[in-house]
Amino acid sequence: MSYKIVSFETPKPVKAASALMEALNIDRAKAQRLIDKGRVKLNGEALTIKTKVEGVLSVLVFDPKPSGLKPFFTAPDFAVFEKPAGVLTHPNGFDCGSTLLDDAKAIFGAKAQPCHRLDRETSGIVIVSRNEKSEAAIKDQFASRLAKKTYFAFVGGFVGAKRLIDAPIVAGSKERNDRLGLPKVMGAISAQGKEARTLIVPLKYFADLDATLIEALPIGGRTHQIRLHLKHIGNPILGDALYGADVETTRVWLDGTLKRADRIAKTGADRLMLHADSIWFFYQSRFFIKSCVPFGENDLRRAVQSD
């Protein structure tokens, strides 16, 4: 578990945020976020007031449990990691195992933060800031779409020509997806969605596997954008148990009980065959970072090999 409880006593009335700032050596904004997220208790009860408090404060704080991931490029203000498939970028609960964030904070300290996300099953490069100044600057590059990313993916079927997929995306929501009988995490192509475009370039077709290796360049950064766009044109990413399978299979996968052989049979591979290969961004100067781990035919053949 990447969290621990820190407890301390406030012998005299003091504002909760001020007590957290002093005890944890954090700024007021972070102290207030801990309170707003329900991670602070007063004398064993959830803290619901923001005025002066007195007694024992207990705080749930992040406690890194690194797995041994190391950056392959380090600069004074940021570092670049190669995230393996199957590893979360950030924790999504108390029992999610070690994440990239664990390793980043274990190496660079409490202020280290991934500047963007990759899905658990997507492999490839992630930029990690080492301080608050670089975090704000690099995240702004992604928010303003100035940072450019390229991906490799193996998709089902033959892709014969470069094309621009222009299809708006609506994010998954519990209300909408309950109405449609879909898992809440699933987004969709919809005229009511937000603008999203992805340029895809076919690189090589593997006839014996009926699969094409493509390069994908997302214009915009909607959740699951590449996956949704490739499904939309009839060439879902191999191994995509969220958008490349029937709903029943998707629910079994989300429960964590989908067997490897069944996943290969239903989706064409035992993992999502998507890899973040490069990023262009600016931080004081222009950087082009390329993946240090090859992604190609050998990865695909391992992923489709029967037990």
* 65 pLDDT higher than 60: yes
The DSSP-derived string for 195-230 is: --EEEEEEEEEETTTTEEEEEEEEES--TTHHHHHH
Lowest mean pLDDT among 6-20, 66-80, 284-298: 6-20
* 210 pLDDT higher than 80: yes
Task: Clarify whether residues 10 and 158 are in a common domain.
Answer: no
CATH value at residue 204: 3.30.2350.10
Q: What 3-state class would DSSP assign to 240?
A: coil
- Which tokens is 157 given? 């079927």
Range of the domain at 255: 148-304
Lowest mean pLDDT among 59-63, 66-70, 221-225, 298-302: 59-63
Residue that wins the pLDDT comparison between 30 and 87: 87
What's the mean per-residue pLDDT of the chain?
Answer: 91
Per-residue pLDDT tens over the stretch 248-269: 999 999 999 999 999 999 999 9
Per-residue pLDDT tens over the stretch 170-183: 988 777 777 777 88
Q: What 3-state class would DSSP assign to 104?
A: helix
CATH value at residue 51: 3.10.290.10
* Residue 192, φ and ψ in degrees, nearest 5: -85, 0
Cα dihedral 6→11→15→16 (10° resolution): 20
Helix axes of 16-24 and 28-36: crossing angle, nearest 10 degrees: 120
Within a domain: residue 67?
A: no
Last residue of a domain, one of 121, 143, 165: 143
Task: Clarify whether residues 96 and 244 are in a common domain.
Answer: no
> What band does 3 get if pLDDT is binned at 50, 70 and 90?
confident
Q: Which is the catalytic residue, given 36, 102, 103, 119?
A: 119
Task: Clarify whether residues 128 and 152 are in a common domain.
Answer: no
Within a domain: residue 68?
A: no
Task: Clarify whether residues 192 and 226 are in a common domain.
Answer: yes
Q: What is the mean pLDDT of residues 275-289?
A: 94
pLDDT at residue number 307:
67
pLDDT at residue number 93:
59
Q: Which amino acid is present at 161?
A: A
For 302, other C-beta atoms within 10 Å of its C-beta total 11
Number of domains in the chain: 3
Task: Give residue 218's Cα distance to chain centre.
Answer: 16
Is 27 marked active-site?
Answer: no
Task: Clarify whether residues 237 and 205 are in a common domain.
Answer: yes
In angstroms, the CA 236 to CA 220 distance is 19
C-alpha to C-alpha distances, 18 to 21, 25, 27, 57, nearest whole angstrom: 5, 10, 9, 12
pLDDT at residue number 94:
55
In angstroms, the CA 253 to CA 91 distance is 19
* 206 pLDDT higher than 70: yes
Beta pairing class for 285-290 and 40-42? unpaired
pLDDT at residue number 81:
97
Q: pLDDT exceeding 70 applies to what percent of the chain?
A: 97
Pair 216, 162: CB distance under 8 Å? no
pLDDT at residue number 83:
96
Task: Clarify whether residues 119 and 160 are in a common domain.
Answer: no
- Which tokens is 277 given? 């290969």
* 50 pLDDT higher than 70: no
Task: Give residue 289's Cα distance to chain centre.
Answer: 18
* 82 pLDDT higher than 70: yes
Last residue of a domain, one of 124, 143, 162: 143
